[in-house]
Homo-oligomer: A and B are copies of this chain.
Amino acid sequence: MKIFILGGGGMIGQKLAKSINLGALGGVKEHNVVLFDVAFQNDVIGSLQNRICNVSEAGQMEAIARERPDLIFHLASVVSGQAETDFDLGWNVNFHPTWRLLETLKREHLASSCTYRPRLIFTSSIAVFGGPYPELITDEFLSAPQTSYGAQKSICEALIGDFSRKGFIDGISMRLPTICVRPGKANLAASSFFSSIIREPLNGTDAILPVSDTVRHWHASPKSAVNFLIHASLLDLTRLGTRRAINLPGISCTVAEQIEALRSIAGQDAVNRIKISKNAEIEKIVEGWPRNFQPNRSLELGFVAEKSFSEIITVYIDEDYKKL
């Protein structure tokens, strides 16, 4: 199978590629996997191909689609904080390329007498939601984004839904929880602190907490994110019915509960590494984010995440600790 991972240089893209390379997709290790990104920090994984590619450049998405991949993971995106600061960049990366990809995939579908119909797995986000929220967000709750990033994800979902309904592609939009604990350095995502308040103390350095510890949020580990993507690759997507965007499972907890989990695993010294320094801009963005979900559809479809935040920390320690 020809598998393209757009945004393959990112953290999730790399873990996904490794997982596929180990046979996660049906036990087959000999897939033709190509990773696309603006840069790669790591070496090529096994037999996988890396290609430098800026999805927002004219012609790139068209060229990708014309190669007729069987399976496309579309993870390429600038993060929420960046899309909020640089309006044009956000739309140019997070929206327009998706249109061009879909439009060209449709052309390939039609040119193939409708035999070519790739699976497209798109990483959307819970940033498609906006307050005021109910206590528990159900699968029927509206998308009303309060960031440009959320609006861009929401629009891509609608595109993927309609192109799938028409049979041009077989698509799914996966509204990932905030992925935590991210390895590596803090990034420009407004959600970056959710990871750094765990990761930095575990690694013996200080972390900044820019919001109140009463902030409640919705988390899953990078391992769960990869499992979601693999599961979506193998799923009969007609089971989604007419709604091709889904909320995924996760853990709802407050920052205080995150800190308690850290304390139970790494002790008070680790917790003392967390320094409070409020950031009004981040507080405002996070204020607009959802806190808790009842994701019945994805649970029924067999998607699985962690059951506690301690489990999320354990995943980090197993997979990424000391690999900074």
Contacts and interface: CB of A to CB of B under 8 A. Distances in A.
Contacts of A245: 144
Contact of A243 (B130, B151, B162): B130
Interface residues of A, number: 26
A159 to B, nearest CB: 7
Given A130-B242, A155-B155, A161 B148 contact: no
A231 to B, nearest CB: 22
Interface string A28-49: 0000000000000000000000
B242 A131 contact: yes
B145 A162 contact: yes
A310 interface: no
A154 B131 CA distance: 18
A159 B166 contact: no
Contacts of A148: 162, 166
A158 B124 CA distance: 15
Interface in A131-188: 131, 134, 140-146, 148, 151, 154-155, 158-159, 161-162, 165-166
A158 B166 contact: no
Interface in A95-152: 106, 130-131, 134, 140-146, 148, 151
Given A151-B159, A155-B159, A159-B155, A140 B141 contact: yes
11 contacts: A87-B106, A130-B243, A134-B140, A143-B158, A144-B243, A145-B161, A146-B165, A148-B166, A151-B162, A155-B158, A158-B158
Interface of A: 87, 106, 130-131, 134, 140-146, 148, 151, 154-155, 158-159, 161-162, 165-166, 242-243, 245, 288
